Amino acid sequence: MTDWPADRIPISAMPLPGEALESWIGAYARRLRTTTNGFLHTVGLTGTRMSWMALRINAAERAALARATGVAPEALTAMTLEPFDGLAVSILPGRRRLAGCSPAWRFGGSRSRYCPACLGQNGGRGPLFWRLPWAFCCPLHYCLLLDFCPGCRRWPDSWKARRLGPKAAGTCTRNSLEGASSRPGGREPCAYRLADAPAITLPADGLVLAAHRHIAGLLDPVPENREAVRGELRQLYALAWRIIRGLHTVADRAPEVVHTVLGECGGTLPEVTTTDMRHDAHTTAVGTALARVALHPGHADHDALFAWIVDADRSLLKKQKFNIGLLGSRWLDAGPNLTNRVLSRLDDTGVNLHTRLRYASATPRPRWPSLPAEAIEHRAAMIPAMLWPGWTMRLMPRPTNDRYLRAEAFRRGCSTFLLLPGGPPHLNYERASPLLGNTRVDRDRNSIHKRTYRTNDTTPLATTLAQLAYALDAYGSPIDYARRRTLFTPATIDLDLDAYARLCTHHGWLAGQQARLRLLRWYLLVLLTGESPPPPIDAGPTFAAHCNDLRFRIPPPLRDFLLAQARTHLARHDIDEPVTWEPPVNWVSNVTWPGPDPNDIPPADFRIALARSRTIDEATASLDMGREHIRLYCDITGITTSTPSTAIGKKAHPGKTTRPGKKTHPAAPKSRINRTEPLAPDRLRELYEDQHLSLQRIASLTGRGAPTIRTLLERDGVTLRGRRTLPPRPDITREWLQQEYTHNMRDLTNLARERGVTQHHLTLLARSWNIPIRPPGGHYNAIGHLNLRRPLSEDMRKVVMDAYALDRLRAITHVPGHPTFAAAARHHFTGTDRALRQRVIHIEKAVGFQIIDRTAKPLAPTQRGQEFLHEAAEILEAADKFKEPPGHQAHHST
């Protein structure tokens, strides 16, 4: 026989499974013929409130109760609401008091509901579960729980053992409100026997009891995955309170399941006020049972009920404008899953493209925009500045008139719109566009709204771009376009001109001059960056047309050469990426393409159609596609027309070796030539061998062309003199000339002055080294001779391609700090302020942004202008330190 501890109460009353702490202590006190407070005094907890311990029991209280009753400390904690704190109830931090509302229900009071039959069977004792706001029915007796005493219409507090009675367990301990009494306190206790209270009986296989079992499975026992349970409880409450409200606003449109649950709960509507609803067991039962049906699939009215709930919520906004953001934001407390489901039920007809993309409302899975700015920046690195060719084909409707189509602007606009899905509220189109380097905001956006989709439904565009954006976030891209946009610019790429010359010789092409090389560099940049770079400064007005013609007619060997050049550039920077890539088409579903899908076009049929077409207009007629669709398919597949181009692919004379920058002449005519004077064989031999006249001189004397004279001398067996060789110059190398002339864009005149040779000398060397010669009068770098600290920025390169570049840079750097342009002109220049303004405006037009803020007093640079002026100051400093080579000043004075 074990010894009974000296400090343990000799009479034992163990708690029932799942019993509440105050129920057990009240029952223990009645067995000891004392009150609740008397029991606490007995165990050494004098002054401790039962209501405090019912919420959270501290260590001293737990130890005292365990020592006096023999109940384990862990069991005592499980009998309080503490395990449910933050889940089903909210206990104020640092205090033992309930907050006004629970984490997932508005009701957060300290009262307990009750089942009359359970009180009668268990001697007035009850479980802790009755104290949770989610308790609404008894699974043992198939009835709704009760909130109030039928006798006094108040919360009964049946577990409390009072000195003034009543003595019987399971009775209402509240004072009666009817009449006065001679007893201390002035009133008799209500003493209503709660086991006799009538309760609504529930069907055993009904929806209300099924909802209770679902809630009990979530909360009893206390779950380990608290966050998941809390999330579901929030979803249930978000649906439940809208259901209760909807019963009083749109009940006439409610599905059959609503009437079924109301019938189970007695057939009466839950009571509501203008601002709130009752939080009794009846209201909780109706709301929770229907919320469970709407949240979890399986019931026939699952979708219909959810649609009705969304309509009910919308009916509460009687005088407010309906929009996706407003309606969706009302559900944010329920979590992203339910919010996204609500968004899928909202009709986005008439909503602008920006909103449809931000919420992905046109997709099968709309989403609340919750991505941070960092996620959008990461997505921008996976997107080219112009939408991929294949996706452009699908999203660009077949045009009725290509004249109004701005394909490049459309592609840039689509890429910018790819950044909007899921982005933060401040991320609009204007702020997203610079992330891709797209600066012409209005043009790109209007090309979609006012041109391409002016009369077309934007739903295919909205759903495709949104699905693509989220797929990129999930699966990523093998190409870092942000890195390529930084590394590969017109100033940093180059072509292997020797390899190009060998390619032209092998295929018998004219290598072309600078204009053709500009086209090839443009095509190379398109391959590397996925976007069309701006035209070079020295390009002509037909450059864009030639670029489009090149896409349609580029010979496959030349395209393979440019692809190899692109791979060489990637390898040079240790970049292990494919040259080009496109997202797979299965990333997007449930879309009817407004344009042709490249996967549905057989390459063989396309190749045959191009072979039968001399122009792109003939190809559009046979293929039923727009001109840009055909060019895009050429970009994707490399299939081009075999007809010669005006910009590329001209044939050289057979047997002639061509090189970039060298002009070729047609062969002499094969027709018979009259060899009388002055073309007689003896006369030509005399002029060439005896008088040592050049071919050009003889041609001018005879009125024939130099190629004809050369052909006649060769027929006569005359050995032609070789080309005069140039004296060797160690300081003039091919690498030096290519760097200074091609990359630094300096002019041959100044380079010849530096080396003390003639311009003709450098021209001959450039042609012999396959360096293309720019046409006379073109733009050149006016500061290429300076020793700069760093390479020129793209903005500065647009300014310095002018003979007056240094003067303009010096002028604009002196403007900041002065109150007006006139003051700056008086202080630094002899000209007028108008002349100074013109210099500043010329630079700002060249770079495409404002450098001087006219609204600042004194005048100051803009944020971007500050960087430009800093670079300009470095250039001017280098110019002041530069010493001109001997003879340079003398040349200027002549």
Q: Cβ neighbours of residue 242 under 8 Å, at least 6 residues apart?
A: 309, 312, 313
Say how far apart CA 64 and CA 47 lie, in whole Å.
13
Q: With contact defined as beta carbons under 8 Å apart, do 784 and 742 qualify?
A: no
Tokens of 388: 């991929």
How far is residue 664's CA from residue 699's CA, in Å, rounded to a whole number? 17
Higher pLDDT, residue 491 or 576: 576
Nearest Cα residue to 308 out of 249, 231, 367 = 249
For the purposes of burial, counting CB atoms within 10 Å of the CB of 860, is it exposed (0-12), middle (13-18) or buried (19 or more)?
A: middle
CA–CA separation, 341 vs 163, rounded Å? 56
The pLDDT value recorded for residue 736 is 85
What is the rounded average pLDDT of the residues 268-273?
Answer: 87
Residue 695, pLDDT score? 84
Both structure tokens of 742: 């091609």
Confirm if 94 and 35 have CB atoms less than 8 A apart: no
Say if residue 825's pLDDT is above 60. yes
Mean pLDDT of 778-787: 68
Backbone angles phi, psi at 105, to 5 degrees: -160, 145
pLDDT of 659 above 70: no
Phi (first) and psi of residue 712, to 5 degrees:
-65, -40
In whole angstroms, what is the distance from residue 398 CA to residue 625 CA? Answer: 6
Dihedral sign computed on CA atoms, order 840, 842, 848, 854:
positive
The contacts of residue 688 (CB under 8 Å, 6+ apart) are 695, 698, 713, 718
Element (H, E) at 762: helix 759-768
Structure-token pair, residue 555? 């010979």
Per-residue pLDDT at 4: 61
595 Cβ neighbours under 8 A, 6+ residues apart: 392, 393, 394, 395, 396, 397, 398, 629
Residue 890: predicted pLDDT: 36
pLDDT average, residue stretch 716-736: 75
Place of tokens 């976030």: 473
Q: Above 90 in pLDDT, residue 876?
A: no
CA of 196: how far to CAs of 99, 120, 160, 175, 454, in Å? 33, 8, 19, 19, 73
CA 375 to chain centre: 7
d(CA 230, CA 228): 5
Which has the closest alpha carbon to 661: 523, 774, 758? 774
Return the higher-pLDDT residue of 244 and 179: 244
pLDDT at 653: 44
Residues 70, 4 contacting (CB under 8 angstroms): no
889: buried, middle or exposed (CB in 10 Å: 19+, 13-18, 0-12)?
A: exposed
- Contact present, 18 and 83 (Cβ < 8 Å): no
Residue 388 has pLDDT above 50, yes or no: yes
The encoded tokens of residue 411 equal: 């592609």
Greater confidence (27 vs 731) lies with: 27
Please tell me whether the peptide bond between 221 and the residue prior to it is cis, using omega within 30 degrees of 0. Answer: yes
Q: How confident is the model at residue 670 (pLDDT cuts 50, 70, 90)?
A: very low
| Mean pLDDT on 145-167 | 85
The number of angstroms, rounded, from the C-alpha of 94 to the middle of its chain's C-alpha atoms is 43
Among 462-476, 613-627, 769-783, the least confident range: 769-783
Domains and CATH numbers, the chain: 1-80 (no CATH), 111-199 (no CATH), 207-317 (no CATH), 370-480 (no CATH), 487-637 (no CATH), 781-894 (1.10.10.10)
- Band (179; pLDDT cuts 50, 70, 90): low
> What is the DSSP code (8-state) at residue 832?
-
Average pLDDT over residues 526-540: 89
Please check the confidence at residue 892 and state whether its pLDDT lies above 50: no
Sign of CA dihedral 214, 215, 216, 220: positive
For 542, list phi and psi in degrees, rounded to 5: -95, 10
Query: If pLDDT is split at 50, 70 and 90, which confidence band does 831 have?
Result: low
What value does the mean pLDDT take over residues 504-523?
84
SS3 342: helix
Query: Cα–Cα distance between 613 and 609 in angstroms, integer?
Result: 6
Residue 811 is inside which H or E element, if any?
A: helix 805-813
Decide which of 791 and 208 is more confident: 208
Structure tokens at 43: 């165990």
Report which DSSP code applies to 18: T
Burial class (CB in 10 A: 0-12, 13-18, 19+), 493: middle
Percentage, residues of the chain above pLDDT 90 = 47
Task: Give the amino acid at 646.
Answer: T
Contact between 116 and 195 under an 8 Å Cβ cutoff? The reply is yes
Based on the number of CB atoms within 10 Å of its own CB, is 879 exposed (0-12), middle (13-18) or buried (19 or more)?
A: middle
List of residues 6+ apart from 780 with CB closer than 8 A = 745, 746, 747, 774, 801
At 288, the pLDDT band (50, 70, 90 cuts) reads: very high
Q: What is the CA radius of gyration of the chain?
A: 44
- Reported as a pLDDT band with limits 50, 70 and 90, residue 273 is confident
Per-residue burial over 328-343, b if 16 or more Cβ lie within 10 Å, else e, is bebbeebbeebbbbbb
pLDDT at 294: 96
User: Is pLDDT of 832 > 90?
Assistant: no
pTM: 0.70
Q: Strands 137-138 and 860-861, how do they pair?
A: unpaired
Q: Kindly report the CA angle at 439 between 433 and 443, in degrees rounded to 5?
A: 90
3-class SS of residue 885:
coil
Strand, coil or helix: 34:
coil
DSSP structure class, residue 189: B
What average pLDDT does this structure show over 215-244?
A: 88
Whether pLDDT at 84 is above 50: yes
Question: Among 46-60, 208-222, 405-419, 833-847, where is mean pLDDT lowest?
Answer: 833-847
Mean pLDDT of the chain: 86
Residue 863: how many other CB atoms lie within 10 Å: 7
Amino acid (1-letter code) at residue 794: E
Across 173-182, 275-284, 387-396, which has the greatest mean pLDDT?
Answer: 387-396
Residue pair 879/781 in contact (Cβ under 8 Å)? The answer is no
| Token couple for 145 | 């729980």
Mean pLDDT along residues 237-256: 93
Cα–Cα distance between 323 and 96 in angstroms, integer? Answer: 43
Q: How much is the average pLDDT of 728-750?
A: 80
The confidence score (pLDDT) of residue 1 equals 41
Helix (H, G, I), strand (E, B) or coil at 168: coil
Q: Select the highest-mean-pLDDT range: 431-445, 492-506, 633-647, 654-668.
A: 431-445
Give the pLDDT confidence score for residue 779 in this predicted structure: 61
In the prediction, which pLDDT does 726 show? 59
Better-predicted residue by pLDDT, 534 or 720:
534
For the ranges 202-216, 488-502, 651-665, the maximum mean pLDDT occurs at 202-216
Identify the pLDDT of residue 671: 46
Residues 6+ apart with CB under 8 A from 823: none
User: For 695-721, what is each residue's pLDDT tens digit?
Assistant: 888 888 887 888 888 888 877 878 887
- AA letter at 345: R
Query: pLDDT for 591-602, tens place per residue?
Result: 999 999 999 999
